[in-house]
Amino acid sequence: MKTVVCPGSFDPITNGHIDIISRASELFDRVIVLVAQNLEKKGSFTHIERVEMINTALGDIKGLNNVYVDSFSGLLVDYIDTHEVSAVVKGIRAVSDFEYEVQMSLLNRRLHPKFETIFFTPSEENSFVSSSIVRQVATLGGDISRFVPKSVEQMIYVKLCKGYAKV
C-alpha cells in the first residue's frame, strides 16, 4: 500500500490545496493531509480549527474516501518514519515555490535518506491561489468564494473579516 502525505500549514485550506490532494488521491492508495503545528509561526487559525476546516471541506467532495487528516508538531521526517509513508506530495505553483520546495526536499533527504518528495502542478485556475492571498482578501472584506470551498468560506469570514459586513 502506497501512502503519501500532503503536509502544510493550511492556514486556511484553499481550492489550490484541494486540487493537489484530489490529484494525489487518484494516484495513491492513501493520502494523509498533514497539518503542521508550527510553534514559530503564529497562524490565523489554530491547528484544531485547521483540521476541522479541512475535514469539513473534504467531507463535501465525493471520491476522496482514501484521504485522512492528521496534525503534527516537530520534524516532518519523524512523522514519515513512524507512519509508513512512501513519499511527500507538494504543490508547485511558480518558480518561487520551486526554489523553496527543492531546498526543503534536499534538506529532508539529508535528515532521512529515504525521504522522497513528489511535486504536483495545480490546475491553471488555482495557480495563483495561496492561503496568504485568501487571508488578505477576506480580512479586507473581499470575495473569496472562488478561492476556497463553500463550506469553509463562512468560517474564514467569521475569523478574519471582523471589520467588514461579510460576517
The residues annotated with a catalytic role in the active site are 17, 41, 93, 131
Q: Is 165 helix (H, G, I), strand (E, B) or coil?
A: coil
The C-alpha cell that represents 8 in the structure block: 502544510
| CB burial readout 110-139, b (16+ within 10 A) else e | eeeeebebeeeebeeebeebbbeebbebbb
Please count the CA atoms within 13 angstroms of the CA of 116 that sit on its side-chain side: 9
Q: Which is nearer to ligand PNS, 118 or 141 (CB)?
A: 118
Q: Which is nearer to ligand PNS, 7 or 149 (CB)?
A: 7
Q: Which residues bind ligand PNS (CB under 6 A)?
A: 7-9, 36, 75-76, 107
CB of 130 to ligand PNS, least distance (A): 9
Phi and psi at residue 28, to the nearest 5°:
-120, 160
CB of 74 to ligand PNS, least distance (A): 7
CB of 131 to ligand PNS, least distance (A): 7
Q: Which is nearer to ligand PNS, 7 or 160 (CB)?
A: 7
